């Protein structure tokens, strides 16, 4: 157990639907990062939150959004889902002022869009 909790582990949904993925960071970590991993794209950085504020954006589609709540958990919302959104979605967290510390990743949510 890495200390980063992602739910659900698996999600199957239809095209056009909306889903919410949840991430609880490791205790004490203020930063949360979301990554998408599809078969042909590798690990793609989506977005970072630090203590409730958006800090960095990567290749995140406009149909996707995220937020980090006061208790530091984060949610990634995916809407108008397409077949190509099928992927593993990982959340990671890191500590305060953590340029020199690594990320801790969760075990991921496998999203299948049918």
Partner 1 sequence: DAKTTQPPSMDCAEGRAANLPCNHSTISGNEYVYWYRQIHSQGPQYIIHGLKNNETNEMASLIITEDRKSSTLILPHATLRDTAVYYCIVRGGDSGYSTLTFGKGTMLLVSP
Q: Which is nearer to partner 1, 56 or 114 (CB)?
A: 56
**Alpha-carbon gap, residue 11 to 58, rounded angstroms:** 23
Q: State yes or no: residue 39 binds partner 1 (CB under 8 A).
A: no
From 10-18, 19-27, 77-85, 92-100, span contacting partner 1 (CB under 8 A):
92-100
Give the three-state DSSP class for 113.
strand
- Applying CB under 8 A, which of residues 19, 24, 32, 33 lies at the interface with partner 1? 33
Q: Is the dihedral of CA 77, 66, 98, 25 positive or negative?
A: negative
Bond prior to 8 in cis (omega within 30° of 0): yes
Cβ at position 49, least distance to partner 1 in Å: 11
How many other β-carbons are positioned within 10 Å of the β-carbon of residue 53?
Answer: 9
Torsion of CA 57, 89, 8, 3, to 10 degrees: -80
Q: State yes or no: residue 48 binds partner 1 (CB under 8 A).
A: yes
From 16-24, 61-69, 73-81, 87-95, span contacting partner 1 (CB under 8 A):
87-95
Q: Could you list the residues that contact partner 1 (CB under 8 A)? A: 2, 4, 31, 33, 35, 42-43, 45, 48, 50, 55-56, 58, 88, 90, 92, 94-108, 110
């Amino acid at each position: 157990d890495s200390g980063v909790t992602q739910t659900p582990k698996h999600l199957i949904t239809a095209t056009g639907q909306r889903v919410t993925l949840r991430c609880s960071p490791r205790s004490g970590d203020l930063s949360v990062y979301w990554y998408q991993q599809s078969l042909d794209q590798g690990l793609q950085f989506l977005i970072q939150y630090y203590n409730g504020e958006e800090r960095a954006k990567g290749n995140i589609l406009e149909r996707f959004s995220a937020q980090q709540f006061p208790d530091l958990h984060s949610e990634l919302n995916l809407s108008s889902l397409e077949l190509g959104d099928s992927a593993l979605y990982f959340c990671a967290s890191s500590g305060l002022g953590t340029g020199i510390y690594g990320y801790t990743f969760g075990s991921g949510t496998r999203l299948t869009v049918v």
